Amino acid sequence: MTDTPPDRLAAHPSSPFHNAALLERGIGVRFKGTERNDVDEYCVSEGWIRVALGKKVDRKGAALTLKLSGPVEVWFRDVGADAAASVPGDPQASPGE
């Protein structure tokens, strides 16, 4: 596997952009400079993410999502032993913080 996440990835299994093997590795997403853990789908080249809209569901039981536009950065969380220290864009935090 490569260390570069795909341009577009979805968490929902019915999506054509779903890839379970990549999701198991863990994907980190930063949207507008803030790390997000609630992303259902993203597209780096088009600059958007989809997030769940609270606990609301449609008539088939699927979560309603909201599309947010802005700069998107993605990375694999399991890149190495020091993956947390090498997250792109994060300043080096001193020990004890």
Q: What is the pTM of this model?
A: 0.76
Paired strand residues for 73: 30
Mean pLDDT computed over 37-65: 94
53-87 pLDDT, tens per residue?
Answer: 999 999 999 889 999 999 999 999 987 545 445 55
Which helix (H) or strand (E) is 23 found in, with range?
Answer: helix 20-25
Cβ pair 88, 79 in contact under 8 A: no
> At a CB cut-off of 8 Å and minimum separation 6, what does 7 contact?
43, 44, 45
Q: What was the pLDDT predicted at 97? A: 47
More reliable by pLDDT, 95 or 38:
38
State the chain's mean pLDDT as an integer: 85
CA–CA separation, 6 and 20 (whole Å): 13
